[in-house]
Amino acid sequence: MRLKLVIVIILVVFGVGITISLMVIHNKNIAQVDIVAINDIVKTVEKNWGQVSKETFQNSDMKQPFSIIDNKEKVIYQTPDSHFSNVYDAIRNKDTIVDIKNNNEIVGKIIIRNNEQEILEKMQSELITSISWIFGLLMSITILYMIYIYRTVLKPFQQLQIFATNVARGNLDIPLNMDQNNYFGAFTESFDLLREELNIARQREYESNRSKKELVATLSHDIKTPVSSIKAISELMLIQVKDEKLMKQVNTIYSKAEQIDLLVTDMFHATLEELQQLKLTVTEESSEVLIKMFENVNYNQQIIYNPIPHCIILIDHLRMQQIIDNVISNSYKYAGTKIEIKSRINEGYLEINIVDFGNGISEDELPLLFNKYYRGGNVEGKSGSGLGLYISKYFMENMAGQISCYNRPDGFTITLKIKLA
């Protein structure tokens, strides 16, 4: 409705301006030759020939400028705005020329100036001025309307767009500050109410998830205590038992307890990481500690060592052991082959390559291997949580290191890049 009103106003202003301009032009009559006034001038000049002066024409009705010359084109008299005083120039300007007679002899001429060109030029100038004023007024109205549109439509729309972006990004604490008198004002209260409801729902979900995660963390911690006891007793029995059949059964118990321990540890760490309570203490260590860490998981003497370069590395000792436990455990579980440890110093890192000779995994699964809870297509019949490599990546990144993996024609490799001090 407002847009239609503005369009009507613009059209009215334009129409009125053009009409006024045409009226002004129409009323500007181009000077016509006044025959009666010319005859009066001629008679007056002929009567007073030889004594023509300014006073001679005091009572004249002649409006146009004129000049009086004799036969030798000497100026006898001319009005102030009469420019031509010879017949040649007068003819070129299309002036009116009338002979002056005295005793039936032509003694001179009256040149009545034709000022048609000046009037046309003046009319043209006035027309241009009028059109300029009209367009200036129209431009002013247009600019004012654009400012009005910006304030009432574009700016509120931008505010609404920013509000929607904040909501999409989860920034639900920023209210929608908008004047309710604009086009979007009717929706302002509804949008802000929606934001508040989403914020409340998110807080409820956050508190609910936090409670669940805290419960999982607590249970994981509580479960580890009896599992550790089972492992300790199993280790003691393995030392004391002499019967081969019983030793095999105890070894099975120990192996299952170890699996449960790793599973619970991964779940515990994943939950703490989500709760932002998983802390690492990075210190300078000798690379020789890595040999001991690999020895701790070399259960069946399946790990083959190559010399590890002597250097100082930045690690959290406990977390580094957990990373190696997870990687070696996966190699035991999914490859079931010998494991070779290769290492070198490369671009500020100690690079540890853990090489097995199994079937690897599909190339499509490689980018997903470190995702939380992801388990590959070769896990059928094998226990696991899908958290081991996820936790290992978290630990490595928080020690300023990296972890990656790739397939080889003859197996699979996981690379640990440990930051040098």
pLDDT tens, residue by residue, 11-68: 666 666 666 655 655 554 444 556 777 788 888 888 888 788 777 777 777 777 888 8
- Find the range with the poorest average confidence among 119-128, 214-223, 394-403: 214-223
67 forms bridges with which residues in the sheet?
A: 78, 111
Are 300 and 245 within one domain?
A: no
pLDDT of residue 29: 47
Write out the residue range of the structural domain in which residue 238 sits. Answer: 186-272
Q: Do 392 and 255 share a domain, yes or no?
A: no
The C-alpha atoms of residue 156 and residue 181 are separated, in whole angstroms, by 11
Q: In whole angstroms, how far apart are CA 412 and each of 99, 345, 357?
A: 123, 21, 6
Beta bridge partners of 182: none
122 lies in the same domain as 198: no
On whether both 150 and 209 belong to a single domain, the answer is no
Q: Are 296 and 393 in the same domain?
A: yes
The pLDDT mean for the chain works out to 79
Say which DSSP state 313 is in: E
Contact of 52 with 77, CB cutoff 8 Å: yes
- The residue among 108 and 94 whose pLDDT is bigger is 108
- Of 33-42, 69-78, 304-313, least confident by mean pLDDT is 33-42
| 143 or 218, greater pLDDT | 143
- Domain boundary at 210, 237, 272, which? 272
Does residue 303 lie in a domain region? yes
Position with higher pLDDT, 187 vs 399: 399
Whether 42 maps to a domain, the answer reads: yes
Q: Give the rounded percent of residues in the chain with a pLDDT score beyond 70.
A: 76
Tell me the three state secondary structure of residue 109. Answer: strand
How sure is the predictor about 233, in pLDDT bands with cuts at 50, 70 and 90?
confident
87, containing H or E segment:
helix 87-92
* Same structural domain, 361 and 402: yes
What is the rounded CA–CA span in Å between residue 221 and residue 224?
5
Same-domain check for residues 43 and 25:
no
Backbone φ, ψ for residue 349 (5° rounding): -130, 150
Same structural domain, 123 and 104 = no
For the residues of 319-342, what is the DSSP string, one character each?
A: HHHHHHHHHHHHIIIII-S-EEEE
Residue 190: count other Cβ atoms within 10 Å of its Cβ: 10
Q: Which two tokens stand for residue 173?
A: 């604490």
Same domain, 123 and 240: no
Contact between 31 and 115 under an 8 Å Cβ cutoff? The reply is yes
Residue 173 falls inside a structural domain = no
The pLDDT assigned to 324 comes to 92
Characterize 92-107 residue by residue with b for buried, 16 or more Cβ atoms within 10 angstroms of its Cβ, and e for exposed: eeebbebebeeeeeeb
Q: What percent of the chain has pLDDT over 90?
A: 18
For residue 180, the model assigns a pLDDT of 62
Q: Residue 395 maps to which CATH number?
A: 3.30.565.10
Does 415 have pLDDT greater than 50?
Answer: yes
Instruction: Name the DSSP letter for residue 420.
Output: B
Euclidean distance between CA atoms 99 and 108, whole angstroms = 6
> Alpha carbon of 120 to those of 31, 97, 115, 131, 261: distances in Å?
11, 22, 9, 16, 106
pLDDT tens digits, one per residue of 240-296:
877 888 888 887 787 778 777 777 776 676 666 664 666 788 999 999 999 989 988
Report the DSSP beta bridge partners of residue 419.
349
Say if residue 211 is in the same domain as residue 81.
no
Residue 177 lies in a domain: no
What order of strands is seen across the sheet that includes strand 96-102? Answer: 75-78, 66-70, 105-112, 96-102
210 residue type, one letter? R
